[in-house]
């Protein structure tokens, strides 16, 4: 008999604005009610900014995504399922530190002066 996954899936969203050619750093925490972070993906309000943008992420003081990782590798578009694009991780949540460094190195003239980035943390809550 196959074990059924009874855990509750949740999302935590980290939203920020990035100015063209600049670096943005986010320091925060995972939600207390979340038990584990199971994946990471992101969306940009301007997909033209994907080229040249890089990301670095720590969860619970562990580097998950190393410096200079191309944002395009983790970007979710409308024609993909979340499961297909999410970078799988297995890290403790429960108010753990989250640090994100996002660098826009875009030379793309189609990118406006700034755009919004949403980093999604796929969380799991143990069913009581």
Q: Which residues of 58-67 are buried (b: 16+ CB within 10 A; e: fewer)?
A: bbbeeebbee
pLDDT in tens, 100-124: 999 998 766 566 688 999 999 999 9
| Helix locations, 37-118, DSSP H | 82-85
**Residues 6+ away with beta carbon under 8 Å from 109:** none
pLDDT in tens, 45-60: 988 888 889 999 999 9
Is residue 9 a contact partner of residue 122, using CB atoms and an 8 Å limit?
A: yes
Please tell me the pTM assigned to this model.
0.87
**pLDDT at res. 1:** 45
- At 73 the three-state DSSP class reads helix
Q: 1.25.40, 1.10.3470, 1.20.1260, 2.60.120: which CATH number matches 8-125?
A: 2.60.120
How far apart CA 84 and CA 120 sit, in angstroms, is: 14
Q: Tell me the pLDDT tens digit for each residue of 64-74.
A: 999 989 998 88
């Amino acid at each position: 008999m196959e074990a059924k996954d009874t855990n509750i899936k949740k999302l935590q969203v980290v939203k920020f604005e990035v100015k063209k050619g600049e670096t943005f750093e986010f320091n925060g925490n995972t939600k207390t009610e979340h038990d584990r972070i199971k994946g990471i993906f992101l969306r940009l309000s301007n997909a033209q900014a994907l080229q040249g943008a890089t990301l670095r992420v720590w969860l619970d003081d562990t580097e998950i995504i190393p410096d200079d990782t191309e944002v395009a590798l983790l970007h979710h578009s409308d024609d993909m399922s979340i499961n297909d694009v999410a970078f799988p991780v297995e890290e403790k949540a429960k108010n753990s530190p989250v640090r994100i460094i996002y660098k826009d190195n875009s030379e793309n003239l189609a990118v406006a002066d700034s755009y919004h980035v949403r980093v999604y943390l796929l969380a799991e809550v143990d069913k009581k």
